[in-house]
Structure 1
Amino acid sequence: MKKILVIINKNWETEPVLNALTNPKLRPAALPFPEVINTPCDGDNRMSQPRAVFSLPREGEEPLQVVVRCIEDLMATGVNTSSSLEKYKVLPQAIAADAADLIISVSTANYPDPAVTHNGTVVLGGNFFIHDGNPDNHADPEHNLIDDRVGTFIASNVAPAVFSLAETVNARLHCYPGGACKLVPPPNFPAPQLVCEGASTFTAVGSVNVTDYGSYDTIDAQALKEFAAAAPEGYTANSIETTHGVVKISTSGEPILFLSPITDRLNHFNEDVTDTQNYVSAFNGGLALGELLCALAEYGGERQI
């Protein structure tokens, strides 16, 4: 493994992630300041350059290069930045050009268990399920991403051992009972224990062709029902959002992980989500991502990803 490509969904998610990755007090000691850095950028920013490029030293091996990109930067101006189709138009070419050995998709999400809040936690997984949130509205160009993999379970193509790195991330963030956890509690319904969770059975459920935030609660319930009918036994839905699945089908077979900072509880979008909630949760994602990148650098260039 010589290169990792980190793909972050929106500008407002990218900025807090990069804040965490460049903070001299909070980023891991083993994570150097980026060689290339393009932040802060306004929400209407468009560019082909990466937001950041890191070079992580490794003993006895060449450095591990990490390129960070924002999907919104690549999208056409004037297009709804939640358009699944527009994301799918720009991602395959960008992913192919970077030629990474591993891709990490980063997008804020809700947690599909309304019984206990997970707000502020971070979820790491490698399986994907895509639900069409507007199957009867494909005439609208904002709602017409059509792909044969929609409605099917897409199994992880990452070695199961990689997911144990979530334990390393937790230890380094001190996210254990009694620890001085570095993750920040979000203002609305924070989880009782902030952690980074990861497992080879974790799945990102993505609803595509959805641009109306007000429809999330209804569509998320539909997506979970469809996932339950399609998923193999033992696999769980641990993240619901709109982008991880689009990133997955934009690859050409590269190993891919998803990393979801959790912002809200299932069916509580309007109660939980604010700009501050989004910022804090995405910042936590950046803290976890920094530790994960360092753990992957230590994992070794010759080990199976």
Structure 2
Amino acid sequence: MANKRILIIANKNWEADALMNVLLQSKACPDNFPWPIALNHPLPPNHDWKNPTPRAVFRFQGSGRNSRRPVSEVRVEVWCIQDAMNPSMSSSSTKEKVRVLPKIIMRKGFRKHPTENPDFVMALGTGAYPGETSYNGCVFAGSNVFIHDPYHNQKPPDPSHWSSAMTGKLFAPSEVSVFSQQAKVFDHTLRAEVETRFIVPPVNPSRKLIMAAAANYTAVGVTNITNYDDYAWADDEALHKFNDMNVRRKEKVPIGSLETTHGIIRLQSGAPFMFVSGITDRIGCFNMEVGSRPYAQNFACAHNAGVVAAWLIPRIVKHLSVEGE
């Protein structure tokens, strides 16, 4: 019988910390959520970043022998990109993130592990949301990505920047997606369970903390920003580029979040993909809504994204186990 491999990939270490706090707390997770079979959390500051390991590995039972395509077990690996990055580089460097992602996704460069394609990839993190109404503390889940590189026309190109012909395009979900069974996966029970566990962020929280999920929600990514002050203009530029693309489409797609990393994770694998974004601020209000209380605002919103991930994991496991029956 085959095994399946699910990856939950967080961007920054503080996002991974909040996620792990949820996954190791029984009251935050569904009943019978397993304890990890491998645990590397908390990670010490002097860890071996050249040979990264997942923060945790969870083992779930598969569909058994009675299925047409039996799955013996599903392993869920929780990774943090920053854990694998060179600490001498900016933790926001897109180029460095792209360098290390194959180690996480395909296990490239590991002698002890053969190259192995994942069966599902979830990108998890925090981001901003457009408009005057605050959705701070809410969580958006989707599967579209759109990447904007604000330096794509720079001459000569900066050698520290990542560049790709894939920017400026909308990437829709693969045919095999949890959103193909959206009514079953994202049902009222899921919403009730996760929303009652959300933590209210301290700065300008949403009037009601909700989880919103749809296949066409789009993670708009801004690459090559290492100075947080540049969010003031780069985020707005990315939003305009996304809207320009949307105007030309017959079927419009809504934005799910604006951040830096979901899109580049999506580009590294053809596996079924989704993103989970905890909203920390309104676009254009980063300094006011995150910068004033960064630890508390970021932790609460990353925690809420972690709660959604925790309750989605068993449903994704079931989806992969019965796929093809």
Q: Do Structure 1 and Structure 2 share a fold, with TM-score over 0.5?
A: yes
* Structure 2 counterparts to residues 57-72 of structure 1, below 5 A: 57-58=61-62, 60=64, 61-72=71-82
Aligned to 1:188: 203
2:34/2:60 contact within 8 Å kept: yes
Of 209, 234, 240, the match for 1:225: 240
Q: Which runs of 4 or more aligned residues in structure 1 lie more than 6 Å from their structure 2 counterparts after TM superposition?
A: none
- For normalisation by structure 1, the TM-score amounts to 0.90
Aligned to 2:297: 277
Unpaired runs of 5+ residues, structure 1, are 176-180
Aligned to 1:161: 180
Code of the aligned partner of 2:122? I
* Structure 2 counterparts to residues 107-256 of structure 1, below 5 A: 107-112=125-130, 114-135=131-152, 136=154, 139-142=157-160, 144-157=161-174, 158-159=176-177, 160-164=179-183, 165-167=185-187, 168-173=189-194, 175=195, 181-231=196-246, 232=249, 233-251=251-269, 253-256=270-273
Unpaired runs of 5+ residues, structure 2, are 65-70, 108-115
What is the distance in 1 between the residues matched to 2:243 and 2:45?
A: 36
1:19 partnered with 2:8: no
2:63/2:322 contact within 8 Å kept: no
CA RMSD of aligned residues (A): 1.9
Matched-pair identity in % = 33
What is the distance in 1 between the residues matched to 2:303 and 2:212?
A: 16
Code of the aligned partner of 1:38? N
What is the distance in 2 between the residues matched to 1:303 and 1:138?
A: 48
Aligned to 1:178: none
Code of the aligned partner of 2:239? L
1:302 partnered with 2:319: no
CA deviation after TM superposition for structure 1 residue 295, in Å? 1.5
Number of matched residues? Answer: 295
1:259/1:285 contact within 8 Å kept: yes
Code of the aligned partner of 1:94? I
- For normalisation by structure 2, the TM-score amounts to 0.85
> Taking structure 1 as reference, are residues 80 and 184 closer, same or farther at Cα in structure 2, changes over 3 Å only?
same
Larger Rg: 2
SS in 1 for 2:122: strand
What is the distance in 1 between the residues matched to 2:155 and 2:91?
A: 18
Deviations 1:88-128 (A, max 9, x none): 1111243112521000011210112x221111111111111
CA deviation after TM superposition for structure 1 residue 58, in Å? 4.4
Deviations 1:15-64 (A, max 9, x none): 01000011122222131111111111245642411110001234635232
1:11/1:43 contact within 8 Å kept: no
> Taking structure 1 as reference, are residues 109 and 138 closer, same or farther at Cα in structure 2, changes over 3 Å only?
farther
